[in-house]
Structure 1
């Protein structure tokens, strides 16, 4: 619990936790930052006497941030129906992998300048996990993320959702079934080996090897947001995906592929003249790639800009 009359430093110190909660709820760094900024604005809009009465500012900010995210999720369906092509979550880099990317030096007056730098990279932010979260109702997603990921009690989640603790427990249970239905991920080392082989085969335009690395029923989804060229519908089948990947390589001379962590899992970054063009996340099962998510929308690639 916090202390009465929490200071500015204590309030600012909650920002990282709030960004982590909001990103998992929304799958968007930009929207997560907006939600957290909105929550802080509401905090500072409270009369000083009201703020002094709040024993745990962190819990208050988490509740408000979660409610804001719930509202955003409620309107997301209509917005994504207008989105050009498939909508994918924003990918998050591991700054430590980028030479001269700034890392811990990229700080502002209250912490890291880029909210993506504050996101803890673990299994709860892998692209496969976030895509499963996208299949949930807004209430399921909030209940599951707050309880199963951040260990908030159902009594507090009930305050966020405006439902009983028992109802929130049911929502989390329903969400949990969706998650458990997805394949269990292989080890990070196993994924890295497969992704490395994909990179090598892609660079040499070796279709036969790519086909062997891809599950026959693999699916590739691209997100260009209507801002850059990207296939509007998922490409299905290992053979078709391999041909598509080689066709991309033929059309993009000078494209450099880098092995990088994407949302905490082995992935690939395609760049040209040091500008990131595509970030690809992979779901690996039984030694083969089952899913590829290629994010090309430049608005979602801003955290990947190399600086310094």
Structure 2
């Protein structure tokens, strides 16, 4: 067997794992396909005579390709279009470099990083995303991760820890995302967008207030036809609405509910305060 055939067999052997890494990083099946194809072009031209761990080496190459794609996407302030597609059916046991995973560990992993990961992933920097995904999902060492992002193993560990806290926060906030408050805010944004005065009025407390505007009818009239660019979000774990321009939050709308009705809508557009907020746009909160 010549070297090219050997490399082709190793790549095919680990292709499911490589695609899983790329999908977790890029959360787009087509982008993941592109990343794996680019990785093959790179490894087919590279000197692999000193490679002792093909799985680790190929994972590193794919990770570098994904990192470049993420940085390019971030520079364009690009958001993946449409709803999140279903995750490819790749068994966790087949993508763990240390061998088959324990079923209980798999269940814990799914609980901790499944939905929460998809919600919060786009809020991470490319380096944070890579460190978290490679270490927590695919058990890649921090030493290997450090070579991909040109950081020390300690720095890679810090990036993964920071990302993990965000993901855990998103998981803890999942109950809030499903709460009555979230549903009320989503309905309010939809009614505002559509100029549905009656629907707005039904969501408001009779004594509702926003700024200097007081009373349900006045508040409904004020917001009717507005909020065209507001999005449903979790702000410090609490359902709210956020207006963002080119990915940067410009205003946050916080809602106070009294017996299920909106009694107060406060608007904060102070850039210094906005920078300190933890904002996660909800996948069901389409631009309205």
TM range (shorter): 0.5 to 0.7
Partner in structure 1 of residue 58 of structure 2: 61
Deviations 1:255-280 (A, max 9, x none): xxxxxxxxxxxxxxxxxxxxxxxxxx
Deviation at 1:183, TM superposition (A): 3.4
* 2: CA distance, partners of 1:71 / 1:122: 27
* Pairing partner for 1:181 from 166, 169, 183: 169
* Contact 1:6–1:52 under 8 Å retained in 2: no
**Cα 1:66–1:173, aligned 2, differ >3 Å: closer, same or farther?**
same
* Contact 2:129–2:163 under 8 Å retained in 1: yes
* 2: CA distance, partners of 1:89 / 1:164: 37
**Cα 1:125–1:174, aligned 2, differ >3 Å: closer, same or farther?**
closer
Q: Radius of gyration: which is bigger?
A: 2
Secondary structure of the structure 1 residue equivalent to 2:24: helix
* Residue 182 of structure 2 is aligned to residue 217 of structure 1: yes
How many residues align? The count is 189
RMSD: 4.2
Structure 1-normalised TM-score? 0.50
* Contact 2:83–2:283 under 8 Å retained in 1: no
Deviation at 1:62, TM superposition (A): 0.6
Deviation at 1:70, TM superposition (A): 0.9
* 2: CA distance, partners of 1:128 / 1:54: 36
Deviation at 1:87, TM superposition (A): 4.1
1:1-308 alignment, distance < 5 Å: 6=6, 8-46=8-46, 50-80=47-77, 87=80, 91-93=84-86, 116-118=88-90, 122-123=110-111, 126-184=114-172, 215-218=180-183, 237-240=185-188, 291-293=282-284
* 2: CA distance, partners of 1:93 / 1:135: 20
**Cα 1:119–1:125, aligned 2, differ >3 Å: closer, same or farther?**
farther
**Cα 1:78–1:215, aligned 2, differ >3 Å: closer, same or farther?**
farther
* Contact 1:27–1:90 under 8 Å retained in 2: no
Structure 2-normalised TM-score? 0.53
Deviation at 1:214, TM superposition (A): 5.7
Which sections of structure 2, spanning at least 5 residues, go unmatched? 93-108, 196-233, 239-280
Which sections of structure 1, spanning at least 5 residues, go unmatched? 95-115, 188-212, 219-235, 248-282, 297-308
* Contact 1:216–1:239 under 8 Å retained in 2: no
Secondary structure of the structure 1 residue equivalent to 2:139: coil
* Contact 2:19–2:33 under 8 Å retained in 1: yes
* Contact 2:146–2:152 under 8 Å retained in 1: yes
Partner in structure 2 of residue 300 of structure 1: none
* Contact 2:116–2:171 under 8 Å retained in 1: no
* Contact 2:119–2:283 under 8 Å retained in 1: no
Partner in structure 1 of residue 216 of structure 2: none
* 2: CA distance, partners of 1:131 / 1:88: 14
* Contact 1:73–1:138 under 8 Å retained in 2: yes
